[in-house]
Amino acid sequence: MIEKELGKGAILIISGPSGCGKSSLLKIFYENFLNYYFSISTTTRLPRIGEIDGVDYFFTTKEEFEKDIENGNFLEYAKVHDNYYGTSLRPIKKALDDGKLVIFDIDVQGHDLVRQKLDSITTSVFITTPSLKELENRLYKRDTDHPEIIQNRLKNAKIEIFSLDKYDYLILNDDLEVASRNLIAIGTVAMIKASLFDKDKIISIWNGNEE
């Protein structure tokens, strides 16, 4: 069982349509949260202006990605917007052993796969804009994607929104400050989820049977 192999940390999955503000919120989260590890995904999509290989993503080719799939190197992977995206297993194992909160910015398919494998240590939050129109405004304002790509992302968003009730928490990212405060609160409670703890050991200590 993979859950038994993994250490003392916890997982926080963040999903939501492209352009809802995940990166903006995470930036504030990182300035305010200790002991986290951001899982850098591997993708076959091209880097956007300003994105750095090894920081935002590990950018790779379709051939290399498919080789990694064959070698079992991914905890999960999915095809999103016609590109592959995946989470490599090895750095996640280390971060969990180190007792960190491991942050996954992954799509709904990835969420379902991680929950199947690691449910007891996972907390999840779906982030979105207050409306589809606002999502469209933000994508155009960000000005990092071709209009055709934006239209594809909006089409996907209309499907993704139907999965919001699979998540533990929902953030409607209207006021960035309020939304980031809520995300920090969710990160905090993700680390004290009851199923993370060794119940037998705690009860034994509680009964005075262990130091």
- 187 lies in the site for ligand 5GP, by CB under 6 A: no
- 105 lies in the site for ligand 5GP, by CB under 6 A: yes
Candidates 109, 115, 161, 168; binder of ligand 5GP (CB under 6 A) is 109
The one of ligand ADP, ligand 5GP, none whose footprint includes residue 110, by CB under 5 to 8 A per kind, is ligand 5GP
- 81 lies in the site for ligand ADP, by CB under 6 A: no
Closest distance of CB 81 from ligand ADP, Å: 12
DSSP H stretches of helix in 126-194? 132-142, 147-160, 176-190
How many chain residues are in contact with ligand ADP, going by CB under 6 A? 14
In sequence order, what are the residues at sequence separation of 6 or more whose Cβ sits closer than 8 angstroms to the Cβ of residue 82?
152
The answer to whether residues 37 and 95 touch, using CB atoms and an 8 Å cutoff, is yes
Candidates 8, 33, 38, 45; binder of ligand 5GP (CB under 6 A) is 45
- 118 lies in the site for ligand 5GP, by CB under 6 A: no
Question: Parallel, antiparallel, or unpaired: how do β-strands 36-38 and 101-105 relate?
Answer: parallel
Q: CA of 112: how far to CAs of 15, 73, 76, 124, in Å?
A: 11, 18, 9, 10
User: Which residue lies nearer to ligand 5GP by CB, 106 or 190?
Assistant: 106
Of 148, 182, 161, nearest to 20 by C-alpha is: 161
The answer to whether residues 179 and 21 touch, using CB atoms and an 8 Å cutoff, is yes
| Burial per residue of 79-109, b for 16 or more beta-carbon CB atoms within 10 angstroms, e otherwise | ebeeebbbbbbeebbebbeeebbbbbbbbbb
The mark string for 4-33 relative to ligand 5GP (x by CB under 6 A, - otherwise) is -----------x--x---------------
Q: Which residue is nearest to ligand ADP (CB)?
A: 21
Determine the Cα–Cα distance for residues 211 and 205; give it in Å rounded to an integer.
7
- 110 lies in the site for ligand ADP, by CB under 6 A: no
Closest distance of CB 205 from ligand ADP, Å: 42
Binding residues for ligand ADP, rule: CB under 6 A, are 18-24, 138, 141-142, 173-174, 176, 179
Binding residues for ligand 5GP, rule: CB under 6 A, are 15, 18, 41, 45, 76, 78, 80-81, 85-87, 105-107, 109-110
